[in-house]
């Protein structure tokens, strides 16, 4: 949810390309917030509303997931814990997996991401097949 503003912007671009973006039902709660505010809100949504499970139920009806892995926390192409879990769930569902940018160099789970073979878009959304 750290990239909520960007998610909505990329969603508009995907619509122009003929896709129907699906977001967490909580996305509006994060738009325009600072990183500190987002972290507080995420904890609330995780524990009080089971936000991950809510998003996964939406993923059940999707044919792909796009992870917006921008630079964050001093890590190039960052993928956080929730996005990593979302990739794993997408892999379980057998849907297509896309990363906006290359796989981050995070030792703890780089090989796991490589093993599920997401398509790296190199910021070219047109590479997503309709």
pLDDT tier, 90 (very low <50, low <70, confident <90, very high otherwise):
very high
What is the pLDDT at residue 65? 97
Instruction: Give how many domains the chain has, as a whole number.
Output: 1
Q: What percent of the chain has pLDDT over 70?
A: 99
Read off the pTM. 0.91
- Phi then psi for residue 92, to 5 deg, are -60, -40
Structural domain that includes position 83: 4-127
Residues 114-119: contacts with CB under 8 Å, at least 24 apart: 116/87, 116/88, 116/91, 118/67, 118/87
Mean pLDDT for the stretch of residues 78-93: 95
């Amino acid at each position: 949810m750290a990239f909520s503003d960007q998610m909505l912007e990329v969603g508009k671009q995907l619509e122009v390309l003929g896709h129907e973006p699906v977001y967490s039902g909580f996305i509006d709660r994060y738009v325009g917030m600072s990183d500190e505010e987002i972290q507080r809100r995420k904890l609330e949504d995780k524990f009080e509303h089971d936000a991950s499970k809510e998003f996964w139920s939406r993923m059940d009806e999707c044919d792909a997931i796009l992870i917006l892995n921008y630079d964050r926390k001093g890590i190039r192409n960052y993928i956080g814990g929730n996005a990593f879990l979302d990739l794993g769930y997408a892999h379980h569902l057998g849907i297509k997996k896309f990363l906006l940018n290359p796989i981050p160099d995070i030792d703890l789970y780089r090989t796991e991401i490589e093993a599920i073979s997401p398509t790296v878009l190199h910021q070219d959304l047109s590479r997503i097949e309709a």
